[in-house]
Amino acid sequence: MSCSMEILFASATEKFRSMVMFKRLFDIDGNEILKSEDILRGMEYYVSVGETFISPLRAIDFHLEYRLHSKWTIYGIIRSYVKRRLPQKEKFHTNYTRDERS
């Protein structure tokens, strides 16, 4: 790890008031940044104390999905599932009529 990466992790640890020093840096796509030369100005980055990348957008999507399809009642949260109906196959009916001549 380069010296400037250590300085970046130390300043991020101080900024976020973390008890544990950050050790890993990820870009918005989840790719780990290993060298300070790969850091571009104006881009979003995520720091970690050692865990693998977890997209923060996934938590927002889950929250919105839960919020849209749930109801608060006195019994708690009721999750309403929206079931999509599968297109039904058309039934092929053949009506054979017997010809009385045969």
Cα angle: 12, vertex 18, 23; to 5 degrees: 55
Question: What pLDDT, on the 0 to 100 scale, is given for residue 17?
Answer: 93
Alpha-carbon gap, residue 9 to 102, rounded angstroms: 92
Question: What pLDDT, on the 0 to 100 scale, is given for residue 100?
Answer: 55
List the structure tokens of 91.
């039934």
Query: What pTM was estimated for this model as a whole?
Result: 0.53
Kindly list the distances between the CA atom of residue 2 and the CA atoms of 8, 21, 24, 32, 100, in Å, as whole numbers in the listed order. 10, 16, 12, 14, 95
CA torsion through residues 97, 98, 100, 102, sign: positive
Q: 3-state DSSP call for residue 50?
A: coil
Following DSSP, what letter does each residue of 80-99 receive, concatenated?
PP-PPPPPPPPP--------
Digitized pLDDT (tens) for each residue of the chain, 102 residues in all: 556 899 999 999 999 998 999 999 999 888 999 998 989 888 889 899 988 887 777 777 777 777 777 777 777 767 765 555 555 555 544 555 555 555
